[in-house]
Amino acid sequence: MWNKISTWWTGFAPKLPFGNSPALVPLLILVVALFIAGFVKSCHAAEFEFTGAYTALRGPASAMGAKVIVPDLIGTAADGACGFMLIGASTYEGVHQIPQAVAHCQLLSHVTPRFSVGIGLAKLQHADAYNSGAINFSLELEYRVWRQIYVGWQHFSNSGTSDPNLGRDLPFIAVRWPFQ
């Protein structure tokens, strides 16, 4: 039976996002699950968000992320949000780009009860054809479609501080769970 499972996994895992080796994917899933479980237990009066995204411009790739939102970090004007985004491998102008990991923190300002704008900083795992420099800016627009369902746009850019500065644009859909 183990051989059947191993054969199935070896055929299935390369189709998963981010181009990781089949042997590494279970470990990544475990780390993400433990990350989520740790925040579920420790984040009282905060919200956890899981994001699915796609880099539609400049090198299409799948992406996923998770973040914790602290409501009303600055009075009722803005929430605080910190998390990470994993962006899969892509090809830009014929050159293969390896997967990217991004840690980011932002302030999310509520323009209306359903619409928010965010600005903050992001730490990239490595420079690539889209962004250079270890520290980038993080911009976000989000709209609450229904209860805990959000759609939006995430942008990472070094704002012209070094070349290249094409940026990464990620339209996303997110699900948010409150912890109280």
Taking only the tens place, the pLDDT of each residue in 67-93 is 999 888 887 778 999 999 999 999 888
Residue 32 lies in a domain: no
Encode pLDDT of 23-51 as tens digits. 666 776 777 667 666 655 555 578 889 99
Residue 18 lies in a domain: no
Q: Mean pLDDT over all residues of the chain?
A: 83
One-letter amino acid identity for 67? K
Which pTM does this prediction carry? 0.74
Q: Are strands 100-110 and 78-87 parallel, antiparallel or unpaired?
A: antiparallel
Residue 34 lies in a domain: no
Percent of the chain clearing pLDDT 90 (strictly above): 41
Instruction: Please report, for the domain that includes residue 63, its CATH number.
Output: 2.40.160.20
Once rounded to an integer, what is the mean pLDDT over residues 152-180?
88
Q: Say whether pLDDT at 22 is over 80.
A: no
How high is the pLDDT of residue 77? Answer: 79
Residue 39 lies in a domain: no
How high is the pLDDT of residue 59? Answer: 86
Q: Are strands 78-87 and 62-74 parallel, antiparallel or unpaired?
A: antiparallel
Distances (CA, A) of 52 to 9, 61, 72, 176: 22, 11, 25, 12
Range of the domain at 130: 45-179
Residue 154 lies in a domain: yes
Using an 8 Å Cβ cutoff, are 168 and 131 in contact? Answer: yes
Quick one: how far is CA 88 from the chain centroid? 11
**86 vs 66: CA distance, rounded Å:** 9
Domain count, the chain: 1
How high is the pLDDT of residue 85? Answer: 92
| Higher pLDDT among residues 5 and 166, named by residue | 166
Once rounded to an integer, what is the mean pLDDT over residues 3-26?
60
Residue 1 lies in a domain: no
Residue 117 lies in a domain: yes
Residue 78 lies in a domain: yes
